[in-house]
Amino acid sequence: MAHKQILAGLRSIKLQARVSAQAGRQRLSGETGSLAKTFGDPSLTPYCWSEFVTPIRDRGAAPELSTNRLHNMDLATGLIDGLVIGPGEVFRFFSLVPRPTEANGFRGGPVLRDGELDTDVGGGLCQISTNLFNAFLLADFTITDRHNHSMDPWGEARFVPLGRDAAVAWGYKDLAAQNPHNATVQLRLRVDRQQRQVVASVWGPDGPAPQVSVTSDVLAKVLGTTPEASPGWEVSTRRISVVQGHLVETYRAVDKYRPFEQAVAR
């Protein structure tokens, strides 16, 4: 019975999102370039402007937590995939994804909180936001709100390069990006369980895709207090875009990651 109630709740959440999307009337208030929650026909945006893929790694968590993490990722994907973003409109992660609570259909999954690996409702959403951030970055969107994780517990087993992650936490860490182009684009997102990867992409009505180059450079390495600790980092990430035939820096961020003192199985 409980399982059926959860499934019914998930269908209700997805249906509500699609109904408001099809209506095309609901707007996110309080921000210039507010986004109409519209989900469009993919045939209107046949050109891939950007794509970013991350692997879904097995972190050695309990099978239930791994299943819950995929469930949370699927739920968020169903609320975002197919979204249409018009010129000047701003995408905000938590304007589309509700607060991660059990009442909203989310489950407990692995998270990084207060310097420790923990379990909390909504674990797994940061991989979705990270993919979206990079798809926006490569599509030459204006990044207006983005936060790196406080630490780098996985070291070389991380699923994304340093400086390219995007943490989200309800109430104080969001992801936002504005469409600066004179064209309406579509955001596509999927969790591929068979290939064990998350794919985010931005599609436009015509080509060519924006020409950008994104690089991340380590500025400093900060050692922990024990040999088992993962080091901290200071990383600079910048984007160079081709604007009217000229190379222009259109994004720069310097991220700091504290050392992670716990021993982590990789």
As a whole number, the mean pLDDT across the chain is 86
Report the predicted TM-score, pTM, of the whole model to 2 decimal places: 0.86
- 206-263 pLDDT per residue, tens: 989 999 999 999 999 999 998 888 899 999 999 999 999 999 999 999 999 999 887 5
Name the pairing type of β-strands 185-192 and 83-85: antiparallel
| pLDDT value, residue 29 | 35
Query: How far apart, in whole angstroms, are the C-alpha atoms of residue 185 and residue 86?
Result: 6
Using one digit for the tens of pLDDT, what is the confidence trace for 97-109? 999 999 999 999 8
Which comes out higher in pLDDT, residue 116 or 53? 53
**Quick check: is 258 in a domain?**
no
Q: Is residue 227 part of a domain?
A: no
In a domain, residue 244? The reply is no
**Whole-angstrom Cα distance, residue 21 to residue 36?**
8
> Does the residue 253 lie in any domain?
no
Tokens of 33: 């370039």
Please tell me the least confidently modeled range out of 108-112, 131-135, 147-151, 245-249. 108-112
Percent of the chain with pLDDT over 70: 83
Write out the residue range of the structural domain in which residue 153 sits.
Answer: 2-209
Q: Is residue 224 part of a domain?
A: no
Looking at the domain assignment, is residue 69 inside a domain?
Answer: yes
Structure tokens at 81: 């995939």
Q: Read off the pLDDT band of 60 (50, 70, 90).
A: low
Instruction: Indicate if the pLDDT at residue 201 is higher than 80.
Output: yes
- What gap in Å lies between CA 93 and CA 80, rounded to an integer? 9
**Residue at token pair 């700091």:** 256
C-alpha 183/C-alpha 3 separation (Å) is 43
Nearest-angstrom CA–CA distance, 110 and 66: 8
Cβ–Cβ < 8 Å for 26, 20: yes
| Residue whose token pair is 């009337």 | 25
Residue 216 belongs to some domain of the structure? no
How many domains are contained in the chain? 1
Judged against a pLDDT cut of 60, whether residue 266 lies above it is answered with no
Residue 93 falls within a domain, yes or no? yes
Write out the E strands in the chain.
Answer: 38-39, 47-55, 83-85, 90-92, 108-113, 116-121, 142-145, 176-178, 185-192, 197-204, 212-222, 232-243, 246-257
